Amino acid sequence: MGTEENKYYIIMTNRPKDPELIVTDRIRTFLEARGAKVSVFADNEDVSRFGLAAEGENRTEAAPKAACMIVLGGDGTMLKAARETAAIGVPLLGVNLGTVGYLTEVEVSALEDALERLVRGDYTIEQRMMLSGSVLRGDGSRETAQIDALNDVTVTRCGPMQIVPLRIWVNGQMLSSYGADGIVIATPTGSTGYNLSAGGPIVEPSASLILLTPICPHTLSTRCVVLCDRDEVVVEIAKKQSGGVQEVEISFDGTLLTRLRTGDRIRVRKSERTTSIIKLSEPGFLARLHRKMSE
């Protein structure tokens, strides 16, 4: 990554979380005072009065040259950064300006101490498993290329309040068939997201496995299933008893991708890519989890 004097950092700011770019400028000033080069990208094109880069510049093109990308916002901003940099591998350091902050490592109250450790190289990099999915239409055509997700791939109902009939295969073998509001296919990192709200288990984020968690299943026997990271999952939108066409929404890390209809499928497996998360110090995952659960 080079010496402290020639390191290059990218700051990605969720502008609504730092509207006056106060925290952003604190970070930029700190790093530049230590000889580093810094580029700032904010979700607003008019940031010239701060002497910062505009959103129109391509941060994904700049990312391969960076020692890390410092992400200001909440978990949603971290997920966006993970998607953008999945093919690049630049490490991410999250600064929590949100409300949850499972993915963010640094609180604003400890910002300078964290940055000091960052420029000294006093940290570890944790590789987080990602999922990769693609949509297959009922006629056999492929709707999408492989799309990566750090947290989860979700199938949820849309339109009228109706149960979604689902069929789930694992490695080509039928696992289950049931009606529900949908299903969450999650990574260990995503276990504290939608998966947790749907009643799924919490998993240590550096683990490598796949969680299948039904959303409000219309049965007492359907539960979350934990799979090996080598397994391939296929979810099919089954036929309704009434014979009508069912529509559902597919999203990757909360970002809507497309809609599926009866007979369509989505195939999900472990991605070949990972997300690199910078870990500075304690508290570790369990301590952070305890704090979050106590709030």
Q: Which residues belong to the annotated binding site for NAD(+)?
A: 75-76, 80, 151-152, 181, 192-197
Residues 6+ apart with CB under 8 A from 187: 128, 129, 130, 131, 149, 150, 151, 152, 210, 211
- Among residues 132, 102, 81, 110, the alpha carbon closest in space to that of 192 is found at 102
CA dist 208 and 275 (Å) reads 12
Burial class (CB in 10 A: 0-12, 13-18, 19+), 203: buried
- Tell me the backbone φ, ψ of residue 16, rounded to 5 degrees: -60, -25
Q: What would the DSSP string read from start to end of 74-127?
A: -HHHHHHHHHHHTTT---EEEEE-SS--SS--EEGGGHHHHHHHHHHT--EEEE
Total residue count of the chain as it appears in this document: 295
- Tell me the backbone φ, ψ of residue 79, rounded to 5 degrees: -65, -40
- Tell me the backbone φ, ψ of residue 243, rounded to 5 degrees: 85, -5
The question of whether 75 is a catalytic residue gets the answer: yes
**Crossing angle between the packed helical segments 22-33 and 111-120, to the nearest 10 degrees:** 40
CA dist 246 and 68 (Å) reads 44
Of 75, 148, 253, 264, catalytic: 75
Residue with tokens 């770019």: 21
Binding-site sequence positions:
75-76, 80, 151-152, 181, 192-197
- Catalytic positions, please? 75
